[in-house]
Amino acid sequence: MGACHFVGVDVGAKELVVAMDRNGVRESGMVFDNDREGHRQLIRFATKKGATARFVLESTGVYGLDLAFALHRAKRVEVMVANPRAIAAFGKASLQRSKTDALDAEVILDFAMRMPFKAWCPPDPEILELRALSRRIEAMSQSMTQEKNRLHASDQSEELSDFVKQDIRELVELLEGRIGRLRKQALGVIERSEKLRKAFGHLTSVKGIADAAGIQLLAELGTLPKDMTTRQWVAHAGLDPRQHQSGSSVHKPARISRTGNAHLRRALFLPAMVSARWEPNVKAFYEKLLARGKTKMQALVAVMRKLLHAIHGMLRHDEDFDGEKFFATKA
């Protein structure tokens, strides 16, 4: 049995920047292609002479997913996919001020060597498919909104040609059709999995979460580790409050961190708005915050955060939404 090497990987779209510790001897700034062959080369390099290797990379998006799977399948290799916020906090605590890919890999390596290691468990294939469909729907929906805005602007203008206006209308219709097909495919993925079907039913038991939002929420939440706490979910969504205080004179109002999964945060926004209007207990909670002097946006963010708490409990305990558990209104 060989030695255990520690490896920190900064993942980019095309390249992997690597820092490695071999029994106290450091190598940094190594670059591998972020493709199948590059992954093989990295694994061979890290496990030379029978060594085992413990890899840590950040869970920053799709660019690291194939690498994580390759590492998970490899012999004599362990992989941890760490929360970027944990690594960023570790870097600040280490007084890391500059930022380059090579330095980021060094911080990840230090994190790998000093912090508790938690092996990565790959998400189920169906949840990965659902997330891919959901994020494609989101991207197409954003494009459709842009085109609808252009269409509205064009209808107010007499200078734009009728041909261009018609082209925008046709594109909006095309995008609507493609979104509909993608959503149908996503619902099919959910229907074929008993676990996803039950979770989707719990989500859509909330007034404000229909098929579109249910797909988004299930896709983003389904990839998270099963042992994450409610507080960790909130931080992952970037909905945790961040204080700004310096000395005795600077006391800025707390704001949400916005450091986390923007897809999940966006998926919660419209359900929170609708629930605050139509779900009685959510509405009571929202109105109570307004009565205390909160702005509408502050109250809405609080609803998003509390709704995420409720969803965590619903999925963990396999139950539908209970308004009284969200916010008690009965004596």
Q: Which of residues 114, 133, 165 is at a domain's end?
A: 114
151 shares a domain with 108: no
CA–CA separation, 221 vs 226, rounded Å?
Answer: 10
100 shares a domain with 8: yes
| Token pair of 52 as six digits | 């085992």
Residue 214, in any domain of the structure: no
Residue 50, in any domain of the structure: yes
Domain coverage including residue 267: 230-326
* H or E element that contains 218: helix 211-221
DSSP H stretches of helix in 51-100? 65-73, 84-93
142-154 confidence digits (pLDDT tens): 999 999 998 888 8
140 shares a domain with 69: no
Q: Which of residues 68, 89, 114 is at a domain's end?
A: 114
153 shares a domain with 87: no
238 shares a domain with 305: yes
C-alpha dist (Å) from residue 201 to 92, 182, 323: 42, 19, 16
23 shares a domain with 104: yes
Sign (positive/negative) of CA torsion 18, 21, 25, 26?
positive
Q: Residue 6: what pLDDT?
A: 96
Residues 74/45, Cβ–Cβ less than 8 Å: no
- Burial annotation 71-100 (CB, 10 A radius, 16+ → b, else e): bbebeebbbbbbbbbebeebbeeeeeeeee
130 shares a domain with 101: no
Ranges in the chain, pLDDT < 50: 1, 243-251
Residue 221, in any domain of the structure: no
108 shares a domain with 167: no
Structural domain count, the chain: 3
Q: Which of residues 88, 114, 140 is at a domain's end?
A: 114
Residue 222, in any domain of the structure: no
247 shares a domain with 149: no
98 shares a domain with 160: no
293-322 confidence digits (pLDDT tens): 999 999 999 999 999 999 999 999 999 999
Residues β-bridged to residue 22: 25
175 shares a domain with 88: no
Q: Residue 258: what pLDDT?
A: 62
Q: Residue 316: what pLDDT?
A: 95
Residue 101, in any domain of the structure: yes
Residue 38, in any domain of the structure: yes
Greatest distance between any 2 Cα atoms in the chain: 77
Residue 68, in any domain of the structure: yes
| Cβ contacts of 223 within 8 Å, gap of 6 or more | 123, 127, 128, 131
Residue 92, in any domain of the structure: yes
Domain containing 16 — which CATH number?
Answer: 3.30.420.10
320 shares a domain with 242: yes
